[in-house]
């Protein structure tokens, strides 16, 4: 018999209970449940009302199916879908210089001072807090109906979102190369240009493609408020009760969104593979 076999087996001590942690867990659970009850009542959620309205939904779908695939409807739909794509593209690319400048000011490692950091963060928070639809309504009143106010709205909102994402990517970057350049006497601009930005370039490009995907989807909604694109045709079809034309536009939207999503995913995957290579 070995010493291990002859050793006395000691019982496993019970896991100590923490009354305070247990009470806190139950309190948080009760709070979450209470908040959901209040939200349920405030939003008037009723599955009964949804079940009672099945006839209206059936009538709506009956008027929409089959879609009107005549060239008189499909042609303008495809043309407007391209306009929607261009709105999302310009809304993304035109925001790049502003997003990058604010991201460098809003990152702790590249901000020249505390007040510049706080000011940049405040600007990004404001642009991010105002919905792109609100920006679109403002620019529609300024420059009129059409795709241009949609582009301006996406630029403003995207600067806030992408600037924050890029600032966080810069703060999470490997500090080694930047520290080496600072030790060699490089200033902030040189550190950012030659060490920081090259090290996070795949992350920045991936976030840019993600925002392009989101902006194309957002440009559909902006068309509903007069900012051009295929969303404007969908709104017109609904107002004129031409639901078969509306379904045609929606099908075109589905094709457009899937194509942009596949393109964005392929680019992000290629960037990720290049980063790990």
CB atoms within 10 A of CB 138: 15
CA-to-CA dists, residue 19 to 13, 22, 40, angstroms: 18, 5, 32
Look at residue 31 and tell me if it is in a domain. no
pLDDT at 36: 92
pLDDT at 181: 64
User: In the predicted model, what is the mean pLDDT of residues 82-100?
Assistant: 91
pLDDT in tens, 109-153: 777 788 988 999 999 999 999 988 899 888 988 888 888 998 999
pLDDT at 185: 64
pLDDT at 94: 93
pLDDT in tens, 30-65: 999 999 999 988 888 878 777 777 777 777 777 778
The C-alpha atoms of residue 68 and residue 60 are separated, in whole angstroms, by 15
Residue 155 reports pLDDT greater than 90: yes
Look at residue 10 and tell me if it is in a domain. no
Range(s) of the domain holding residue 221: 71-96+128-173+200-276
Report pTM: 0.77
CATH code, domain with 218:
1.10.3720.10
Taken in order 190, 194, 200, 206, the sign of the CA dihedral is positive
pLDDT at 62: 78
Q: Residue 163: CB partners within 8 Å, gap ≥ 6?
A: 98, 99, 100, 102, 103, 106, 120, 124, 127
pLDDT at 24: 80
Residue 70 reports pLDDT greater than 90: no
Look at residue 120 and tell me if it is in a domain. no
Q: Write out the DSSP string of 215-267.
A: HHHHHHHHHTTT--SHHHHHHHHHHTT-HHHHHHHHHHHHHHHHHHHHHHHHH
User: In the predicted model, what is the mean pLDDT of residues 92-109?
Assistant: 89
What DSSP state is assigned to residue 48?
Answer: H
Look at residue 179 and tell me if it is in a domain. no
pLDDT in tens, 166-224: 888 887 776 666 666 667 666 666 666 666 777 777 788 888 888 888 888 888 888 88
The count of structural domains within the chain is 1
pLDDT at 152: 92
CA-to-CA dists, residue 33 to 41, 47, 48, 116, angstroms: 12, 19, 22, 42
């Amino acid at each position: 018999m070995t010493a291990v076999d002859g050793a006395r087996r000691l019982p496993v001590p019970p896991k100590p209970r923490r009354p305070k942690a247990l009470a806190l867990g139950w309190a948080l659970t009760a709070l979450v449940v209470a908040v959901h009850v209040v939200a349920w009542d405030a939003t008037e959620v009723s599955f009964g009302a949804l079940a009672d309205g099945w006839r209206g939904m059936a009538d709506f779908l009956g008027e929409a199916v089959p879609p009107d695939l005549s060239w008189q409807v499909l042609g303008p739909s495809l043309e407007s879908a391209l306009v929607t794509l261009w709105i999302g593209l310009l809304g993304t690319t035109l925001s790049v210089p502003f997003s990058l400048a604010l991201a460098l000011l809003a990152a702790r490692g590249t901000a020249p001072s505390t007040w510049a950091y706080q000011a940049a963060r405040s600007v990004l928070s404001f642009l991010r807090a105002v919905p792109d639809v609100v920006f679109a309504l403002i620019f529609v009143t300024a420059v009129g109906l059409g795709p241009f106010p949609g582009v301006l709205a996406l630029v403003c909102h995207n600067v806030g979102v992408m600037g924050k994402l890029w600032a966080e990517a810069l703060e999470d970057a490997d500090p080694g190369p930047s520290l080496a350049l600072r030790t060699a006497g490089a200033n902030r601009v040189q550190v950012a240009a030659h060490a920081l930005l090259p090290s996070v370039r795949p992350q920045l490009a991936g976030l840019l493609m993600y925002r392009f995907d989101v902006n194309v989807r957002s440009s559909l909604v902006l068309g509903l408020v007069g900012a051009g694109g295929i969303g404007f045709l969908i709104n017109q079809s609904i107002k004129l009760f031409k639901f078969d034309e509306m379904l045609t536009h929606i099908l075109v939207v589905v094709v457009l969104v899937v194509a942009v999503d596949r393109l964005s995913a392929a680019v992000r995957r290629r960037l990720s593979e290049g980063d790990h290579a």
